[in-house]
Amino acid sequence: MQGRGLTLPALDPAGVPAVAGSDYPEAFRALVERGQRQRLGDALGLKNFGVNLTRLPSGCASSLRHWHSRQDEFIYVLEGTLVLITDAGEQVLTAGMVAGFPAGRRDGHHLVNRSGSDALFLEVGDRSAGDEGEYPDHDMIWRNVDGDQAYVYLHRDGTAY
């Protein structure tokens, strides 16, 4: 997995498998399912925060617009052009630009690739126990079920998908 003769703690991201798809309920997968994440933090054995190298093809979103109760998030655009959508509106982000989303700020956010080519960005998030979230544009929330990383998607009224 390290490639180019590297050994941990170093690694070549090209050797980390890309994971596509989404664990969203079926009704919400279409917008995000073509995105691919390479879980670099997991490959390096990081426990306190995650790092993903994410590739978004044209027409794809990073997620549904959401916010986290306990997790800070940070993104760094490496290639391409993305539209950051928050409660305040839209902003265009290009290579070298960053955005951060503090835990508990009820400002739904996501990235959408409206350009004609792929975009590549790093996403970093802590792994705070008990994190939960909401999707302000959809009838969906996610709740923690065991205080760790397990969670379920629910309708806003608490019924399961």
Domain ranges of the chain: 13-154
Return d(Cα 3, Cα 12) in angstroms, integer. 6
| Assessment of whether the complete model's pTM goes beyond 0.85 | yes
What percent of the chain is modeled with pLDDT above 70?
Answer: 96
CA-based nearest residue to 120, from 70, 82, 152, 69: 82
What percent of the chain is modeled with pLDDT above 90?
Answer: 89
Task: State the architecture of 13-154 in CATH terms.
Answer: Sandwich (2.60)
Which 3 state secondary structure label does DSSP give 111?
strand
pLDDT band at 3 (very low <50, low <70, confident <90, very high): low
Q: Which of 51-65, 102-116, 146-160 has the lowest mean pLDDT?
A: 146-160
For 116-146, write each residue's pLDDT tens digit. 999 999 999 999 888 999 999 999 999 988 7
